Structure 1
């Protein structure tokens, strides 16, 4: 996807704190701390982080649903703190749950959202039918939304975010609960929007989703940016390769031996994927794989298969998380 110099989102030094405890009498929790973020026009930017990292607070701040304690927020060329109405006219927001009325049909829900954006009834109806077609909801368009499956509700929620042809779409975990086929259908719709020039800010719990969609990824934790870059740039910050071995069965006692043996070969602690497969980051690629097989043989561990591959975003995320837990 082409990159553009004009940013759609610029956050500078954004901070937000909450009072914890009953009636807000507990200590302050720093949801965001001096957060900087720039999202260029016509790109997909993914926010990654563990639960409680500050992703939703960031999204709500950009969507003008939350006012920060400090910092500046510019969205679509407007100051989100002093000109929130102008920002709201230019964005579409899709949350983790379909924000629609279950007693209305899918078409009626979309038409209502369009009218709330100031569209005439006729224009809202035309736009609703167009989105229903694009999102393959024709068969269910005139059924009450309460009869929709989870995947259909998610598509309807996305349609609501697109109803006003926004310059910026904010998607907070848009494919949560969908099966792999449903997620890929949503990816296609999101990709088509970006191809037409729309900018997308995405939070997701699926690392493969960020890898497939995002031009750039920001990893945040405890309200602070921990890493930022393209998927390939983030992958390059971890070990050069990932070694996965498969052993011929393992007991708990043998598992300890496997972990110790691989730890001597790799970088960091090995992870057990299932009863027979283990993985560890390594520095020397194929040579490390050969060394691991030899070391396992000397330890009496029967290796069935060994594979060396490039790191995934899962490996990046786990590496960053482990580093943060040690800080």
Structure 2
């Protein structure tokens, strides 16, 4: 007596035929998709070309099981890929809504732009490389931190962002937005607002032409890496004191030292001049007194006079992107939510 294991696998179709001593006919594994099955078949086990030996049985069975496992794992991969795409879409849609809310809030009060930039800088610059603590973790929201000398003028803009947060949380399906994300994305919206406003000015105040100019020559595409860093976690306590200088009172050397401590040099210090206090022109005049920073100040001033502002804009976006995730572990599943299942039995056809 012999036992044959027939599988749905195409590769097994070419196995040797099985001889049936009762009928004298040959039985071939079917190429159709059928479940694995066992059949009793009488064969001549003494020899012959058409004998299906035990090792052939084991090979057939092993191949069938292996391919079944591969098929199952393949379906899991497909499911995982689909779930990943759904999560990406959820995050992207939520992110777009967050940007729109923040941009609208800033557009209504453009005078808050310098304070928003400084707030984002101060929340991030608490990062300490030695202890790997601090950074853009939303700690500036605590009353004990926002009341410090370096943050004393920023409480009003924090109130503005908290109002925006209420609106954002009201439509979020994946939980409230973190203050860490809120603050850094507010800085992004503030920068985009200033770039667009500059383009509009270059078009004589024509908003439609300014939008077209920025779409054609701006560096909006450079924000791609920044946008991926979405999912910062809030700290539950204030960061240590003494890590942030009062920018409007600091010397150039003090600024250079602070930037050096987080891995930045004169180039990044110059490009971040708009973040270092309420008056960018005054800050740049001070930075220009330093021979190391002066060439970069001049470079970005020239760039801002051009139509595209490419050098200035690209370097600023790159610098802020790195700054906005110092020491942070990004949760790439943040703000996602389970997809509602559809009961097909209730569908009307």
TM-score (normalizing by structure 1): 0.18
More helix by share: 2
Bigger Rg, structure 1 or 2: 2
